[in-house]
Amino acid sequence: RYLIARHYPTSGLGNMMQSLVSSFLLAVLTNRIFVHDSLLIADLLRFPRFPGASTNYSRVYEEAGAAHVAMNSQFVVYRGEEWLLCGDPSEVLGAQYVFFESDQYFGGVIANNPLYAHLLS
Protein backbone atom coordinates (compact mmCIF):
# COMPACT_ATOMS: atom_id res chain seq x y z
CA ARG A 1 0.00 0.00 0.00
CA TYR A 2 1.41 3.33 -1.13
CA LEU A 3 0.76 7.02 -0.59
CA ILE A 4 2.03 8.97 -3.56
CA ALA A 5 2.44 12.64 -2.65
CA ARG A 6 1.65 15.12 -5.40
CA HIS A 7 1.47 18.89 -5.49
CA TYR A 8 -0.37 21.37 -7.67
CA PRO A 9 1.59 22.39 -10.76
CA THR A 10 1.39 26.02 -9.65
CA SER A 11 2.63 25.37 -6.10
CA GLY A 12 5.64 27.27 -4.88
CA LEU A 13 8.57 25.54 -3.23
CA GLY A 14 7.35 26.40 0.29
CA ASN A 15 3.93 24.88 -0.31
CA MET A 16 5.47 21.79 -1.88
CA MET A 17 7.68 21.23 1.15
CA GLN A 18 4.80 21.70 3.61
CA SER A 19 2.64 19.28 1.69
CA LEU A 20 5.49 16.78 1.40
CA VAL A 21 6.11 16.74 5.17
CA SER A 22 2.40 16.38 5.90
CA SER A 23 2.01 13.59 3.34
CA PHE A 24 4.96 11.73 4.83
CA LEU A 25 3.35 11.93 8.27
CA LEU A 26 0.05 10.66 6.87
CA ALA A 27 1.81 7.76 5.14
CA VAL A 28 3.59 6.72 8.35
CA LEU A 29 0.44 6.89 10.47
CA THR A 30 -1.65 4.91 7.96
CA ASN A 31 1.07 2.27 7.43
CA ARG A 32 1.73 3.14 3.81
CA ILE A 33 4.93 3.35 1.83
CA PHE A 34 5.66 7.00 1.06
CA VAL A 35 6.74 8.00 -2.44
CA HIS A 36 6.44 11.26 -4.33
CA ASP A 37 5.48 12.13 -7.86
CA SER A 38 7.75 15.06 -8.47
CA LEU A 39 11.02 15.29 -10.32
CA LEU A 40 11.60 18.71 -8.75
CA ILE A 41 11.49 17.23 -5.25
CA ALA A 42 13.79 14.39 -6.34
CA ASP A 43 16.33 16.94 -7.56
CA LEU A 44 16.11 19.17 -4.47
CA LEU A 45 16.11 16.52 -1.76
CA ARG A 46 18.41 13.60 -1.35
CA PHE A 47 16.36 11.12 0.66
CA PRO A 48 18.33 8.35 2.33
CA ARG A 49 18.03 5.26 0.17
CA PHE A 50 18.78 1.61 0.37
CA PRO A 51 20.67 0.22 -2.62
CA GLY A 52 18.23 -0.08 -5.50
CA ALA A 53 15.43 1.73 -3.65
CA SER A 54 13.72 4.88 -4.83
CA THR A 55 11.33 7.39 -3.30
CA ASN A 56 10.08 8.48 -6.72
CA TYR A 57 6.77 7.09 -7.91
CA SER A 58 7.99 6.35 -11.43
CA ARG A 59 9.98 3.35 -10.19
CA VAL A 60 6.91 1.86 -8.47
CA TYR A 61 4.87 2.46 -11.62
CA GLU A 62 7.44 0.67 -13.78
CA GLU A 63 7.70 -2.34 -11.47
CA ALA A 64 3.95 -2.81 -10.83
CA GLY A 65 2.82 -2.12 -14.38
CA ALA A 66 0.44 0.47 -15.77
CA ALA A 67 -2.64 -1.76 -15.80
CA HIS A 68 -2.21 -2.87 -12.19
CA VAL A 69 -1.70 0.69 -10.95
CA ALA A 70 -4.68 1.97 -12.95
CA MET A 71 -7.02 -0.69 -11.53
CA ASN A 72 -5.90 -0.15 -7.92
CA SER A 73 -5.58 3.64 -7.66
CA GLN A 74 -7.44 6.37 -5.87
CA PHE A 75 -6.94 10.10 -6.36
CA VAL A 76 -7.50 12.41 -3.39
CA VAL A 77 -7.20 16.18 -3.53
CA TYR A 78 -7.04 17.50 0.03
CA ARG A 79 -8.47 20.96 0.60
CA GLY A 80 -9.13 20.90 4.32
CA GLU A 81 -11.97 18.38 4.55
CA GLU A 82 -12.93 17.23 8.02
CA TRP A 83 -12.35 13.50 7.46
CA LEU A 84 -8.67 14.02 8.22
CA LEU A 85 -9.43 15.79 11.49
CA CYS A 86 -12.30 13.71 12.84
CA GLY A 87 -12.36 10.40 11.02
CA ASP A 88 -10.11 7.46 10.30
CA PRO A 89 -7.99 8.33 7.26
CA SER A 90 -7.45 4.62 6.59
CA GLU A 91 -11.15 4.32 5.75
CA VAL A 92 -11.00 7.13 3.20
CA LEU A 93 -7.65 6.04 1.72
CA GLY A 94 -8.74 2.57 0.71
CA ALA A 95 -6.91 1.80 -2.54
CA GLN A 96 -3.50 0.20 -2.84
CA TYR A 97 -2.12 3.28 -4.59
CA VAL A 98 -3.39 6.58 -3.19
CA PHE A 99 -2.35 9.69 -5.09
CA PHE A 100 -2.63 12.42 -2.47
CA GLU A 101 -2.51 15.94 -3.83
CA SER A 102 -2.27 19.08 -1.74
CA ASP A 103 -0.35 22.31 -1.50
CA GLN A 104 -0.82 23.00 2.19
CA TYR A 105 0.53 21.95 5.54
CA PHE A 106 -1.98 19.64 7.21
CA GLY A 107 0.29 18.04 9.81
CA GLY A 108 -1.45 20.02 12.53
CA VAL A 109 -4.79 18.61 11.45
CA ILE A 110 -3.42 15.07 11.70
CA ALA A 111 -1.91 15.81 15.12
CA ASN A 112 -5.34 16.86 16.40
CA ASN A 113 -7.09 13.75 15.10
CA PRO A 114 -8.07 11.69 18.19
CA LEU A 115 -6.78 8.50 16.54
CA TYR A 116 -3.24 9.88 16.30
CA ALA A 117 -2.97 12.59 18.97
CA HIS A 118 -1.56 10.20 21.58
CA LEU A 119 1.10 8.95 19.14
CA LEU A 120 2.27 12.44 18.27
CA SER A 121 2.25 14.09 21.70
Per-residue confidence in pLDDT tens, the chain, 121 aa: 999 888 877 778 888 888 888 999 999 999 999 888 765 555 555 555 545 555 566 777 778 887 888 899 999 988 888 889 888 898 889 999 999 988 888 988 998 899 988 888 7
Strand positions, DSSP E, 1-121: 2-6, 33-36, 73-77, 97-101
Residue 7 C-alpha from the chain's centroid: 10
Quote the pLDDT of residue 31. 92
The DSSP bridge partners found for residue 42 are: none
Quote the pLDDT of residue 118. 84
Quote the pLDDT of residue 45. 52
Quote the pLDDT of residue 11. 77
Contact 5, 37 (CB under 8 A): yes
Quote the pLDDT of residue 38. 66
